[in-house]
Amino acid sequence: MELQYSELEGGVRLIKLNGILDMNGTYRIEVDFVRHCAGEIVRVLVDLSEVTYLSSIGIPMLINAAKSVVRPGGKMILLNPQKAVEDVLDLAGISLIIPVCKDLNTAGLELVK
């Protein structure tokens, strides 16, 4: 699992994940992932387009980070998950907690709501 971080226009944080978000993958990136989500009223896009597998170990990392972002008034959006990952998000009810968008334009509109 790899994590790439960048900032988009307007201070939106983009965290791009690449690989398998299983036990090893989650442990490999969790500290950096949480660090990039920290702050006051941050807006975070988590690009899941290159995540090929999401296990039950990766789900708490996403939920806990989203809570830490939303609590002080920020927003987190999961962006463009592959079908298998999207199915896991739906099955676990994550898509009811963290918005999931198919493209950057839709995500941008969701962030400014």
pLDDT of residue 55: 94
Type and span of the H or E element at 47: strand 43-54
Judge whether residue 40 has pLDDT over 80. Answer: yes
pTM for this model (two decimals): 0.95
Which domain does 100 fall in, by range? 2-111
Q: Give the total number of structural domains in the chain.
A: 1
Under a CB-based contact definition with an 8 Å cutoff, are residues 95 and 62 in contact?
Answer: no
CB atoms within 10 A of CB 39: 15
Convert the pLDDT of each residue in 1-20 to its tens digit.
999 999 998 899 999 999 99
Convert the pLDDT of each residue in 41-77 to its tens digit.
999 999 999 999 999 999 999 999 999 999 999 999 9
pLDDT of residue 33: 98
pLDDT of residue 77: 97
| 23/17 Cα distance (integer angstroms) | 14
| 25/97 Cα distance (integer angstroms) | 22
CB proximity list for 53: less than 8 A, separation 6 or greater = 20, 21, 22, 84, 85
CATH of the domain at 88: 3.30.750.24
